Structure 1
Amino acid sequence: MKNSSRKRCTVSNLLVLARFLKMIDSLNKLMLVCTISLLPISTHLRAEQQFTDVVESVTKSTVAIALDAPFKHASPRVLGTGFIVDDGSYAITNYHVVSETLDPKYVENYVVLSGEGTVVKKVKAEIIKIDIKHDLALLKLDSILTPITLSSKNMLRPGTDIAFTGFPIGAILGIYPATHRGYVSAITPDAIPAMNSQQLNLKMMQRLDSVSLIYQLDAIAYPGNSGSPMYDPKSGEVIGVINKVLVKDTKESALSSPTGISYAIPVKYVHTLISDVKR
């Protein structure tokens, strides 16, 4: 009897142990599934946190390009966007942003505005090199500001994610940089399309003889974004300069009816402009 009881007890204990081990195994599997299911969320949160850090860093190097004419305007008139490069004493923007001839009758200067809101630093800027073909201008600053890193890569492939930071509506409410995201939709010639031959002028025909490849973007940019740094959302390295916006009617209607198609000049032309000055 005693041996029989011991056997029954042993079998019972083994069954309890087996159930316990099975329960532990089920819990381990459940925890593994929960962990795996949470991984994409965790990865996404880290990526978003990284992007906000990149935007914060890029914003420090992004400036508003303005015309300072005290006799004409109470405050500097914002013309577009630019960004600080090299050792911090230079800025890049589009040539058309600073193509306005300064009036010798008045005290007029191009300046860059660095900061946010109404508390900004005004730094005098002088145009020292231009690249009309690629619509770029290099400005020499009177003070040192925080530079941004330029990418060493050549042309990026269509489908590459991009971001750009600038001043799409100028300084209506103060200097408040805005950031937009998108991707490279195509590598395209920089020739401006025309509906028929009657719309072609001499300048456009000359451009057709020597076209450059630029980025076409699936991203909404506005006239004030001209000169904005286009950068890698992961590293913050500049890969291009926002250039021209394709709008449905006129520049004035861009804010109300943007097409969503924008263009950017590859950063290799920025490298060339800086190298020419440094020689």
Structure 2
Amino acid sequence: MTRSPRRADRTWLFSLAAMLLLAYAVTPASQAADQLADTIETIAPSVVGVGTHAPTRNPRVDFRGTGFVIADGKAVLTNQHVLPERLDEERREQLIVLVGEPGSPEVRAAETVAHSRAHDLAILRIDGDPLPALSLGNPDDLRPGNQVAYTGFPIGMVIGFYPVTHTAIISARTPLALPAQRDDQLDPGQVARLRREQPPMVFQLDGTAYPGNSGSPVYDTATGQVYAVLNKVFVQGGREAAVREPSGISYAIPLDLAAPLLEEYERKFR
């Protein structure tokens, strides 16, 4: 029994429609994944580890967080809380950044040239040749629901110098202060202080991060433009709890709050 030409045409059209629907369903997701992979390749060489080095200490390097290269290629933006309160001069401790290829980092000396304790931001100046600087975007372009990524060293040097990338969405813009874990822990004095001090607005992210991620660049998954600096994670418990049971709630400082520090850096090294 042979098919009629009309029935054969219908079968061919149905097959073509099915293939087109399948292509439409699969291609956008795969394209987005490839796009993010390309973006990570561009971002990773500019992401550095931040810590201290002391020749008589074991281990010699104390990893403290993440940073990323901006401006002239010798400026590193990170969190203020990543930096030590003071350096141990007796042990000849110095501030450093770790740069280079995954698995084989180069140690570069660094110095703090601008910082803001109120906004938990700092800019370092590193020795040696300039590194690729990341492109900075306008934080006002981000809205709740936008997808972003951040690359850093979430568990420090436990697995070695290998940058790790997480993705998230922007959940909200919220005050920087986290006054309490529950409503019943807020007293009128705390509420009044928050209103008086008017803490800056930051991004809340629906994404998992860890203590070592502090200072990671938060960037657009397609363009690689950086909009914020990962600042902290919401935890119920101490540092161990943050690693063992991450909350999936993280916070990032918008780059507009780093503008005065960048201006200070450029005045010094213009």
- TM (norm. structure 1) is 0.85
How far is the alpha carbon of 1:210 from its aligned partner?
Answer: 2.8
Is 2:166 the partner of 1:180? yes
Alpha-carbon contact 1:116-1:174 (below 8 Å) kept: no
- Structure 1, residues 41-96: CA drift from partner, whole Å, max 9, x if none? 12221211111111121111111101011122343111000001112111010001
Give structure 2 stretches of 5+ with no counterpart. none
Is 2:206 the partner of 1:218? yes
How far is the alpha carbon of 1:109 from its aligned partner?
Answer: 1.3
Question: For residues 268 and 249 of structure 1, what CA distance do their matches in structure 2 show?
Answer: 31
Q: Which residue of 1 aligns with 2:237?
A: 249
Identity among equivalent positions (%) equals 36
Question: For residues 44 and 138 of structure 2, what CA distance do their matches in structure 1 show?
Answer: 20
Q: 1:140 aligns with which of 119, 125, 128?
A: 125
Question: For residues 138 and 253 of structure 2, what CA distance do their matches in structure 1 show?
Answer: 14
- The residue type paired with residue 89 of structure 1 is K
Alpha-carbon contact 1:64-1:114 (below 8 Å) kept: yes
- The residue type paired with residue 262 of structure 1 is S
| Greater gyration radius | 1
SS in 2 for 1:227: coil
- Structure 1, residues 153-194: CA drift from partner, whole Å, max 9, x if none? 425211111111111111023111111111111110112213
- The residue type paired with residue 196 of structure 1 is L
Q: Which residue of 1 aligns with 2:247?
A: 259
SS in 2 for 1:259: coil
Alpha-carbon contact 1:191-1:208 (below 8 Å) kept: no
Greater shift in the superposed pair: 226-235 or 148-157 = 148-157
Q: Which residue of 1 aligns with 2:222?
A: 234
- The residue type paired with residue 110 of structure 1 is L
Question: For residues 23 and 89 of structure 2, what CA distance do their matches in structure 1 show?
Answer: 65
Q: 2:175 aligns with which of 180, 189, 210?
A: 189
How far is the alpha carbon of 1:217 from its aligned partner?
Answer: 1.1
- TM (norm. structure 2) is 0.88
Q: Which residue of 1 aligns with 2:145?
A: 159
Go from structure 1 to structure 2 and tell me whether the alpha carbon gap of 1:224 and 1:44 turns closer, same or farther (over 3 Å shift). Answer: same
SS in 1 for 2:168: strand
Question: For residues 214 and 39 of structure 1, what CA distance do their matches in structure 2 show?
Answer: 36
- Structure 1, residues 212-265: CA drift from partner, whole Å, max 9, x if none? 110111111111110011111111111111101111111232111221111000
SS in 2 for 1:81: strand
How far is the alpha carbon of 1:272 from its aligned partner?
Answer: 3.2
Question: For residues 256 and 147 of structure 1, what CA distance do their matches in structure 2 show?
Answer: 34
How far is the alpha carbon of 1:103 from its aligned partner?
Answer: 2.0
Give structure 1 stretches of 5+ with no counterpart. 1-15
How far is the alpha carbon of 1:22 from its aligned partner?
Answer: 5.3
Is 2:83 the partner of 1:98? yes
Trace 1:45-60 onto structure 2 (pairs within 5 A): 45-60=30-45
SS in 2 for 1:247: coil
Q: Which residue of 1 aligns with 2:20?
A: 35
- Structure 1, residues 121-177: CA drift from partner, whole Å, max 9, x if none? 111111000011110000001121121111134252111111111111110231111
Question: For residues 199 and 260 of structure 2, what CA distance do their matches in structure 1 show?
Answer: 17
Is 2:156 the partner of 1:170? yes
Alpha-carbon contact 1:116-1:177 (below 8 Å) kept: no
SS in 1 for 2:243: coil
How far is the alpha carbon of 1:208 from its aligned partner?
Answer: 4.9
Residues paired across the two proteins, number: 261
Question: For residues 137 and 165 of structure 1, what CA distance do their matches in structure 2 show?
Answer: 18
Go from structure 1 to structure 2 and tell me whether the alpha carbon gap of 1:210 and 1:160 turns closer, same or farther (over 3 Å shift). Answer: same
SS in 1 for 2:19: helix
